[in-house]
Amino acid sequence: IMAATKASKEQKYDRQLRLWGDHGQESLENAHVCLINATATGTEILKNLVLPGIGAFTIVDGHTVSGEDFLCTLQNRAQAATELLQELNSDVSGNFVEESPDKLLDNDPEFFHRFTIVIGVQLPESTCLRLGSVLWSASVPFLVCKSYGLIGYMRLAVQEHTVIESHPDNALEDLRLYQPFAEFKNHIQSYDLDSMDKKDHSHTPWIIIVAKHLEKWLSEHNCQPPKNYKEKEAFRQFIREGILKNENGVPEDEENFEEAIKNVNTALNPTKIPSAVEDLFNCEQCNITSQSPSFWVMLQAVKEFALKEGNGSLPVRGTIPDMIADSQKFINLQNVYREKAMQDAAAVSKHVERLLQSVGKVCCSHCIANCKHLCWRLGKNAFFLRVVRCRSLAEEYSVDSVNKDEITSSMDNPDSEMVFYLMFRAVDRFYQQHSRYPGVYNYQVEDDISKLKLCVNSLLQEYSLNVNIKDDYIHEFCRYGAAEPHTVAAFLGGSAAQEAIKIISHQFVPFNNTFIYNAMSQTSATLQL
């Protein structure tokens, strides 16, 4: 039964396993997500987490189902939502707590410590800040979401989120042509382009071609590789001269040489450690203690590798792009890179073991095997390691640390998405003062405009924000009447669920730290507040 279940899960989750792999799926299945408030937005987010198979969810909601939510039952909203969501995926465990988050914060704030991530939807400001503080201290990631009229809002609050597998869209290849390692140098010795027959000559990988010509160039140019445009152009011409000619002196059609020429630009870049990774090397978290998270132990190990076996470089990635070549030449070349990568990963792994030992953690054989595997993955991603640090909600809201620059510079364009952020803050004030949102009932719309405007002004004054908010936006937010249309809820549901998956799996890079979606113009912006 276990095998059958595993096979059917492989099939069911096939389309997503292609994106985050079995290990990513495992982290999802070990996750316990908390959703606060099963509104349209909340349930859309949770649906998009239940379908791909998170381990468990718990809905916290003190509200009963109203006609606005759906079919009138006198059922608690948390319970109703749990039942419907549970139906979507029998692999997931669903729970609910019929309680307002404020009550839980009063009586049992540690309730929230058990979760992998907490997602708070349509929360009033006071609840949000209280919860934010508890979760920040407990290092539980907090994702705040709101659909309000035609505007969507997300805020991520996580102290430090580490990513090894960021899956960058357009990464340059790691070919080490500039400073070739010994095994590569040996490999290209086995090629003598001048003595090859036509078939072999035309099916030699372009990497070999560039390497061979670079060797010659270096010997004739005082060990200086081509650097500027003129030199690279001359180098390209040099390669072009290497193309075989027929008996009439006409160059043959050698696609592999054309590939070599085309790739000169990027292939000759020296393999530097990216500045983002250098910054990570300089973080104080690299001083390893017994409390250090594994990411930092691995990062320190990579740093030590770079200083020692790497001769100033990161571990070799080990992959090469496809290129015109016969199978054998390609595979042989690929294996040279692959084996070097494995060697480098093993060296990193040794550093990890040593570091763990130095802080009193003994490694059993299982750990060591696991470590080797993790370092193999680490080596493939060494150039793309990322750490995301969000400011806390407390920092965002405090007059002393508010990000004035970000706000005022964005508002140079008074129609930028920043205006919606400010309107959300003003609306939250309105709620604090009047215990309701503006314009919920038709008769309120007119009068609430001036009340909301007072909130806007007091907000700008309190934070000394010298910006202008057009009356149109104040009017619009009264018009919204705190409506939560499903179209906006659905968009936010998809976006927020994906960010939650990034947090849970530690793959791909989450946003930092505020995302605004404008459904009127179908535009969005990410702000760092």
Partner 1 sequence: MADTDEPMVVDGGSGRTCEWEGRWNHIKKFLERSGPFTHPDFEPSTEGLSGFCNIHVVDMDTIDLSNLNRQFLFRPKDVGRPKADVAADFINSRIPGCCVVPHFKKIQDLDETFYRQFHIIVCGLDSIVARRWMNGMLLSLLVYEDGVLDPGSIIPLIDGGTEGFKGNARVILPGMTACIDCTLELYPPQINFPMCTIASMPRLPEHCIEYVRVLLWPKETPFGDGVILDGDDPEHIQWVYQRSLERAADFHITGVTYRLTQAACATEVFKIASSAYIPLNNYMVFNDVDGLYTYTFEAERKENCSACSQVPLDLHFSPSSKLQEMLDYLTESASLQMKSPAITATVEGKNKTLYLQSVASIEQRTRPNLSKTLKELGLTDGQELAVADVTTPQTMLFRLCFTS
348, 375, 484, 529: residue in contact with partner 1 (rule CB under 8 A):
484
Residues 162-201 that bind partner 1 (CB under 8 A): 166-169
Q: Does 485 bind partner 1 (CB under 8 A)?
A: yes
User: Among residues 3, 4, 67, 365, which is the contact residue for partner 1, using CB under 8 A?
Assistant: 67
Q: Taking the chain, what is the end-to-end CA distance rounded to the nearest angstrom?
A: 50
Residues 453 to 472 in contact with partner 1, rule: CB under 8 A: 471-472
- For residues 202 to 241, the per-residue mask of contacts with partner 1, x marking binding by CB under 8 A and - elsewhere, is -x--------------------------------------
Reported as type and span, the H/E element at residue 378 is helix 365-381
- Choices 68-76, 92-100, 230-238, 293-301 (CB under 8 A): range interacting with partner 1: 68-76
- The strand ranges marked E within 26-121 are 32-36, 56-60, 93-97, 117-121
Site size for partner 1 (CB under 8 A): 71
Angle at 127 (CA atoms; ends 443, 389), nearest 5 degrees? 120
Q: Does 479 bind partner 1 (CB under 8 A)?
A: yes
Name which of residues 135 to 164 contact partner 1 (CB under 8 A). Answer: 149-150
Relative to beta strand 523-527, strand 142-148 is: unpaired
The strand pair at 151-157 and 161-163 is best described as unpaired
Q: Are 313 and 273 in contact (CB under 8 A)?
A: yes
520 binds partner 1 (CB under 8 A): yes
What's the closest the beta carbon of residue 275 comes to partner 1, in angstroms? Answer: 17
In the complex, what is the shortest distance from the CB of residue 466 to partner 1, in angstroms, rounded to a whole number? 23
Phi, psi of 35 (to 5 degrees): -110, 130
Beta-strand (E) ranges in 324-408? Answer: 386-388
Shortest Cβ 248–partner 1 spacing (Å):
25
Q: How far is the CB of 249 from partner 1 (least distance, A)?
A: 26
d(CA 384, CA 399): 35
Report, in Å, the least distance between residue 62 CB and partner 1: 19
521 binds partner 1 (CB under 8 A): yes
Contacts of 329 (CB under 8 A, 6+ apart): 200, 203, 204, 205, 208
Q: How far is CA 33 from CA 18, 55, 116, in A?
A: 23, 8, 6
Tokens of 348: 């990193």
Residue closer to partner 1, measured from CB, 166 or 263: 166
- Shortest spacing between CB 295 and partner 1, in angstroms: 18
The distance of closest approach from Cβ of residue 73 to partner 1 in the complex, given in angstroms and rounded to an integer, is 11
- Least distance (Å) from partner 1 to the CB of residue 326? 5
Give least dist CB 11 to partner 1, A: 5
Token reading at 404: 């004035």
CA dihedral 467, 473, 474, 476 (to 10 degrees): -170
Q: Which is nearer to partner 1, 351 or 506 (CB)?
A: 506
For 418-421, the CB contacts below 8 A with 24+ separation are: 418/516, 418/525, 418/527, 419/469, 419/470, 419/473, 420/151, 420/153, 420/473, 420/516, 420/518, 421/153, 421/514, 421/516, 421/527, 421/529
361 binds partner 1 (CB under 8 A): no
Among 2, 3, 18, 190, binds partner 1 (CB under 8 A): 18
Which one of the spans 81-89, 128-136, 174-182, 272-280 is the region binding partner 1 (CB under 8 A)?
Answer: 81-89
The nearer residue to partner 1, 327 or 461, going by C-beta atoms, is: 327
Stretch that binds partner 1, among 54-62, 128-136, 326-334, 344-352 (CB under 8 A): 326-334
421-439 CB burial, b ≥16 within 10 A, e <16: bbbbbbbbbbbeeeeebbb
